[in-house]
């Protein structure tokens, strides 16, 4: 009896039902294979980076063998701990400024009414269309005039200025999706608009805040151009700037560079994976309301 019930049990299992659906709809198979191929293409650089970071220079040239020699050379060539700390400091401060400015501006654009509101909002959105390469030299000249180059504050201010327009757009879209009745109820209870913002709107905006924080963290952490211009002192360099300087020499050790790239990539990957659920919900919450 067990032998007769075996195939039926298998066919009734979730795997069996999924296989039957795939046989009835060949496009599912094509889609699955296409996604599998794309995943392989996307994961190959990461696998290449991991494998070659575990090889010495000679093993990399020979194409076989593993060792941790490249990691020792990396820590001798770069102050990795200091550069990671610098990256964390710059990211954290810039994100704090972005969140502070974007949440207040987003609430104002979504729930308040003031003169030339639409024009100001369009100007903020339009600033997102300006490439950073077009404004980076004027920014450098302006900050150099007030002696703010080659320190953390210059990079923090530039990152905050570049990230605030998109964050404002995202927070405006989220707050626009909140029912006006919630804000009006708070006003009827004696709250001011400031109180309604802090006590009603802001606690409900946690998914949007997490989305902005994750997106800005990935962008700032992986950026090279701003850090290379505004953090030129060896003690102030971020990890991406340190890797850029390391790769600018006449002789570049690929395994050492792969080890440094892996260290640089892991925090951004970890943040994305940890907050992935909040990231998706934050990007779609304002649309679904």
Token readout for 154 is 């210059």
Task: Give the whole-angstrom CA distance, residue 228 versus residue 233.
Answer: 10
Residue 170 in contact with residue 106, Cβ under 8 Å? yes
For residue 9, the model assigns a pLDDT of 46
Token readout for 204 is 């409900």
Token readout for 91 is 């990211």
For residue 102, the model assigns a pLDDT of 94
The neighbour count for residue 235, using CB atoms within 10 Å, is: 10
For residue 16, the model assigns a pLDDT of 64
Local confidence pLDDT in tens for the 289 residues of the chain: 444 444 444 445 666 666 666 666 677 778 878 988 998 898 888 888 889 888 888 888 887 888 888 898 889 888 999 999 999 999 999 999 999 999 999 999 988 888 888 899 999 989 888 888 888 999 999 998 988 888 899 999 999 999 999 999 999 988 988 888 888 888 887 788 888 888 888 888 888 898 899 999 999 999 989 998 998 888 889 999 988 888 776 667 888 989 999 999 989 888 888 887 777 666 665 444 4
CATH 1.10.3720.10 in the chain is located at 79-288
In terms of pTM, does the model score above 0.85?
no
The neighbour count for residue 136, using CB atoms within 10 Å, is: 16
Taking the mean position of all CA atoms in its chain, how far away is CA 76? Answer: 29
The CATH number of 79-288 is 1.10.3720.10
For residue 287, the model assigns a pLDDT of 46
Residue (of 226, 230, 251, 228) closest to 243 by Cα position: 228
Q: Helix/strand/coil (H, E, C) string of the chain? A: CHHHHHHHHHHHCHHHHHHHHHHHCHHHHHHHHHHHHHHHHHHHHHHHHHHHHCCCHHHHHHCCCCCCHHHHHHHHHCCHHHHHHHHHHHHHHHHHHHHHHHHHHHHHHHHCCCCCHHHHHHHHHHHCCCCHHHHHHHHHHHHHHCCCCCCHHHHHHHHHHHHHHHHHHHHHHHHHHCCHHHHHHHHHCCCCHHHHHHHHHHHHCHHHHHHHHHHHHHHHHHCCHHHHHHCCCCCCCCHHHHHHHHCCCCCCCHHHHHHHHHHHHHHHHHHHHHCHHHHHHHHHHHHHC
């Amino acid at each position: 009896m067990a032998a007769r019930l075996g195939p039926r049990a298998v066919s009734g299992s979730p795997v069996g039902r999924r296989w039957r659906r795939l046989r009835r709809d060949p496009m599912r198979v094509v889609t699955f294979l296409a996604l599998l191929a794309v995943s392989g293409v996307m994961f190959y650089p990461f696998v290449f980076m991991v494998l070659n970071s575990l090889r010495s220079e000679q093993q990399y040239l020979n194409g076989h063998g593993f060792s941790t020699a490249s990691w020792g050379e990396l820590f001798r060539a770069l102050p990795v701990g200091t550069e990671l700390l610098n990256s964390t400091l710059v990211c954290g401060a810039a994100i704090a400024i972005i969140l502070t400015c974007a949440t207040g501006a987003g609430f104002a654009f979504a729930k308040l009414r003031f003169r030339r509101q639409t024009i100001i909002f369009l100007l903020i959105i339009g600033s997102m269309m300006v490439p950073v390469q077009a404004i980076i030299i004027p920014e450098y000249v302006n900050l150099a005039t007030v002696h703010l180059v080659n320190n953390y504050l210059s990079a923090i201010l530039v990152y905050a200025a570049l990230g605030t327009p998109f964050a404002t757009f995202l927070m405006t879209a989220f707050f626009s999706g909140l029912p006006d009745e919630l804000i009006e109820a708070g006003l009827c209870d004696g709250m001011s608009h400031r109180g309604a913002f802090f006590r009603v709107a802001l606690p409900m905006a946690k998914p949007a805040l997490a989305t902005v924080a994750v997106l800005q963290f990935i962008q700032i952490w992986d950026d090279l151009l701003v850090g290379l211009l505004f953090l030129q002192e060896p003690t102030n360099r971020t990890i991406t700037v340190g890797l850029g300087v390391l790769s600018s020499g006449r002789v570049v050790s690929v395994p050492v560079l792969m080890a440094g790239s892996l260290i640089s990539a892991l925090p951004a990957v970890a943040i994305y994976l940890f907050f992935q659920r909040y990231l998706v919900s934050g990007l779609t919450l304002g649309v679904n309301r």
